Chains A and B, each alone.
Chain A
Amino acid sequence: MGLELYLDLLSQPCRAVYIFAKKNGIPFELRTVELLKGQHFSADFAQLNPLKKVPVLKDGDFTLTESVAILLYLTRKYKTPDHWYPQDLQARARVDEYLAWQHTALRRNCLRTLWHKLMLPVFMGEPVAAEMLAATLAELEGSLQLLEDKFLQNKAFFAGPHISLADLVAITELMHAVGAGCQVFEGRPKLAAWRQRVEAAVGAVLFQEAHEVILKVKDSPPADPTIKQKLMPSILALIQ
């Protein structure tokens, strides 16, 4: 059995891993784990990843969680072009800096935006207080500003003139907010121009393919009560 990637393209980190593997022609078996059907709670999946999260990589006997770790593993094992994770000390540090910062910043904000604006009210039928949503959107704004001022500045991409893992992880996060109905690129020409560059570097077709699920999530039928009960605790923990 070759490389297996356990993914749900609903999830931002899964999209980054998917795009990276496809873009670099890395051969893998796609194992879809449908989060909204609670498939990550199955006994089989828990065996694979006791943390019950995606993405997961399985390469023979070697199992790996955490999208950042998976992306780095893939760059090294498949010797992808240097620009994804540059050898240059400072350029690489810039990528590491973004990949570290984003966990508790943009990632958190985009996840909360999706759930507070769309998934909790529409999918779960749980209304969200206006102040809570406003606070979440304000935090997202803060992260977007940092993205422009600290990470992008006047460069083409986060680490310099070429696309890197940092851009891929960031764009897949921002598309989460877009899927929730937040026009994050409107009124932010710098970010919008960067997005065009990232899409062009990834390839429009692959980009669309990876984002089909998140862009249609607003049309999901409401969860049935069994699913809702199953998913609620872990979702509340995820977005706290």
Chain B
Amino acid sequence: MATYLEFIQQNEERDGVRFSWNVWPSSRLEATRMVVPLACLLTPLRERPDLPPVQYEPVLCSRPTCKAILNPLCQVDYRAKLWACNFCFQRNQFPPAYTGISEVNQPAELMPQFSTIEYVIQRGPQSPLIFLYVVDTCLEEDDLQALKESLQMSLSLLPPDALVGLITFGRMVQVHELSCEGISKSFVFRGTKDLTAKQIQDMLGLTTPAMPMQQARPQEHPFVSSRFLQPIQKIDMNLTDLLGELQRDPWPVTQGKRPLRSTGVALSIAVGLLEGTFPNTGARIMLFTGGPPTQGPGMVVGDELKVPIRSWHDIEKDNARFMKKATKHYEMLANRAATNGHCIDIYACALDQTGLLEMKCCANLTGGHMVMGDSFNTSLFKQTFQRIFSKDFNGNFRMAFGATLEVKTSRELKIAGAIGPCVSLNVKGPCVSENELGVGGTSQWKICGLDPTSTLGIYFEVVNQHNAPIPQGGRGAIQFVTQYQHSSTQRRIRVTTVARNWADAQSHLRHIEAAFDQEAAAVLMARLGVFRAESEEGPDVLRWLDRQLIRLCQKFGQYNKEDPTSFRLSDSFSLYPQFMFHLRRSPFLQVFNNSPDESSYYRHHFARQDLTQSLIMIQPILYSYSFHGPPEPVLLDSSSILADRILLMDTFFQIVIYLGETIAQWRKAGYQDMPEYENFKHLLQAPLDDAQEILQARFPMPRYINTEHGGSQARFLLSKVNPSQTHNNLYTWGQETGAPILTDDVSLQVFMDHLKKLAVSSAC
């Protein structure tokens, strides 16, 4: 097994790919019986410091329907200078530049270690990065101040040739013209009126009138379009001043009202502006908002404070009167932005909901960030925002734009769909399945905003019929081609070609079983579940998940019929039920206690983080610190909550440090300040340091919670742990084995018992 673990890890390191199954069942029928679909998590831009890009262009298969890229799996005839495409078996001539190749003089793309390779395209104009700030001015004074400072700070982080633009909004929407001297100029739009892209461009004067002098125009065009988007180096001072002078929205807000906030129109204008000026160029629209849209298209709630913003309860009762319309508005915007390769970030900082539920698609479909905080005046926002502009080891921003992901498969496979921050490009082809999982029906997706951790789940279908066995030793291959605009403004293509063995599930089930990647499978299944939850009722999704789990157990468990106690799972499956247990309880599928916005926020991140982070989200990590030994991971269980321990829990969204009862008392007594108890001080410090380490790396910044036994914030911990001890199983009450959780939720033990029972039951 160890070999498989290594294999998986190695593959992940090299290619950024993790498959649910690393040996593939060779027929369609068998594949469906495996319950967990053949799928993979792909991190297209996984950082590879060891992988210098090659400065030439890839060699393509000449078959028009294939166009696969030359890769190490291809058969090469060095003498004839021919290569055979491993997807369509087309034989291709090498291009003239490859005349010198031989067995010993291979181009990089033929070397096995370059199963992932990156090409730099030299052709075409290099387009600068574009950042369009869309700023809400209906903020409290200090919030606005903090935001202004963050924005000003960000200017210094941008590459000097990046284009920036500024749109502010409140009751009205202002598009600031940055090029002018003297008087600062802005175009103002009514916040209540939806405008078509054409209208917006007309009103901003972006459309060049059809004048007879058009021949002279082409050069002027960029000038016109850049009135609102200027190179930062040129207008740095200007923009800094402008930001400094930003005032709160001046329109009076009477008591009992929410400020009128035209987020919908502002975004629409931002999208329209970029659409008209820089179509198909990577750009980031960064929306900073401090509250829900309250007017115009995309409004989420009225301005009457007495009418609260929709809750899950309202949505279930169909009482959210603006939701559908608003969602439609933002979806339309997101799709337009996506079509043009622009991504939309949402930075929403407010104590109440801000309408992320409705706006989520903007970030979800375009690969933008979604950040939720309580205030712009928190380190959570400030550092998160700063981290967006972090740089990699080469000094480039960790962001990429306007990517197109194309997947090619060998004939036995078809593509069922993808789940992640992408939109379909609707490219049909021979390798596209009719059965959709996630965003399907295409072999290409657009990912407008990418970072090194952006991960897509890609689902496949085995189409090989049972009666057409694959020859022993045959391998299925998949090629991922990601074309994108690198933050250095280069266009690049990253190609990853992977292959896995086929196995006959009937004869070699063991092989397949052993090659099961339960972590990847859990995440992939979770993504499917979350994807479904967006459109289906919560309980249905849970039932579906349960059924899948039971079927999986039935398929791969070892048991005697009707004897739950005999049930066993092999090591490669052993953790899977537990993941499912925690997934069922996670905020991705449970909306109880979460606002619609929070759910959207959690799901957004779940659908784009890589495997490790996703797993943390599903099953938080719990570390224990005590005088009894070095820090150790402990079970995410109420039994781990002990009086003499400090616990550190990482749920991805929150970092919770929890002091056990005794520890808390000690600290209260001030022992840590006494020289003789320095070790106690160290004990207290240890989790803080570890937490800091996590905080440094995580995007977005998690909520950092420092609490102790009995503290109100302890709920974050208590709600996550497996409630093995509750007020219902009194037999453990008062024992030193942990803290009871006041809940009616089932514990993992009960869950497992139940699962076993169902798995062994022949009734299912």
The answer to whether A and B assemble together is: no
A interface list, Cβ under 8 A from B: none
B interface list, Cβ under 8 A from A: none
